[in-house]
Amino acid sequence: MIIVIVGPTGVGKTKLSVELAKKYNAVILNGDSMQVYKDLNIGTAKVREDEKDRVPHYLFDIVEPTDMYTVYDYQKDLRQKLEEYKNRNIIIVGGTGLYIKAALYDYEFSEEDKSNSYEDKTNEELYEMVKKIDKDTDIHINNRKRLVRRLNRKEISNNKDKLLYDNVYFIGLTTSRDKLYERINKRVDQMVKDGLLEEVKSLYDKNIRSKAIMTGIGYKELYSYFDGTITLDEALDLIKKNSRHYAKRQYTWFNNQMNVKWFDVDFNNFENTINSVEKYIDK
């Protein structure tokens, strides 16, 4: 079987994935578009070695931060792993809905047409054009490069709602908005204590300004701080704000695009959450 664990940052996806992997003798595959990159660890909340608990993890740290890695690349890589471990239980964990759906559903991508730069269009016009072809897009209106790339990427599919694999469980972890926002804010503070500034400064000093860095939450804001355009407090406030907004967009996307079974997380006793998910899968 395939178990897909989704939800925003800070709700316990990593812990749940490891516990379920131990119970069902599963391998874990990354479902986060940022965690494929090497050296982007703290800012992406990537699973640590001590958290893996000897469970095999794949599709983490497979791309240099200077390289471009697209949903098309992920689709190919994930499907290859699904074939490789088809005789094992598999857990996909992450918050990048489009990547996961493109790999599991009947999505086909053609090569990107780079001939149209849309220089005559404003960001607002580009955003409205994207919304017409993808009403649940998570691309920010100010992210002009992604808007243009989305318009230039032609998708061909017989049925994007057709699941290509059998025995798939979509598990979502959720909590109240106030609790989530509180956890996101505290998580950013903890990331700083864990060395987020040092991690980003190392990339900054290497003058790495790839798409992953310049659009990734936690990286783009601190780059602005290191550039001297904003203060550190402003950068950290932006990271928290952008993380909260992204979490809201994630919920909207998953609710509209996937048949997710949501579980309200018991942070006081996470074992209760694990047991609830296991009962749902085993029934």
121: pLDDT confidence band, cut at 50, 70 and 90?
Answer: confident
Whether residue 21 contacts residue 58, with contact meaning beta carbons closer than 8 Å, is answered with no
Compute the average pLDDT of residues 75-93: 97
Residue 113: pLDDT band (50, 70, 90) is: low
| Stretch 239-255: mean pLDDT | 94
Q: What is the pLDDT of residue 158?
A: 53
Average pLDDT of span 87-104: 95
Q: Is the pLDDT of residue 214 over 90?
A: yes
Q: Using CA atoms, how far apart are residues 182 and 223, in angstroms rounded to an integer? A: 24
Q: Does pLDDT of 146 surpass 90?
A: no
Q: Which is more confident, 140 or 3?
A: 3
Number of H helices, E strands in the chain: 12, 8
pLDDT value of position 119? 81
pLDDT value, residue 130: 84
Cβ 74 vs Cβ 102: under 8 Å: yes
What value does the mean pLDDT take over residues 123-146?
Answer: 84
**Under a CB-based contact definition with an 8 Å cutoff, are residues 44 and 200 in contact?**
no
The H-assigned helical ranges of the chain are 13-24, 49-52, 71-84, 97-104, 123-133, 144-152, 177-194, 196-205, 211-215, 220-227, 232-257, 270-282
What does the block give as tokens for 6? Answer: 């989704």
Same fold, 2-110+160-177+251-282 and 178-243: no
Check whether domain 178-243 has CATH 1.10.3720.10, yes or no: no
Whether the Cβ atoms of residue 36 and residue 61 lie closer than 8 Å to each other: yes
- The yes or no reply on domain 2-110+160-177+251-282 and CATH 3.40.50.300 is yes
Q: In the chain, where are the structural domains located?
A: 2-110+160-177+251-282, 111-153, 178-243
Alpha carbons 175 and 82: distance in angstroms, whole number: 30
pLDDT at 217 over 60: yes
Is residue 140 scored above 70 in pLDDT? Answer: yes
% pLDDT > 90, the chain: 76
Residue 89, strand partner residues: 26
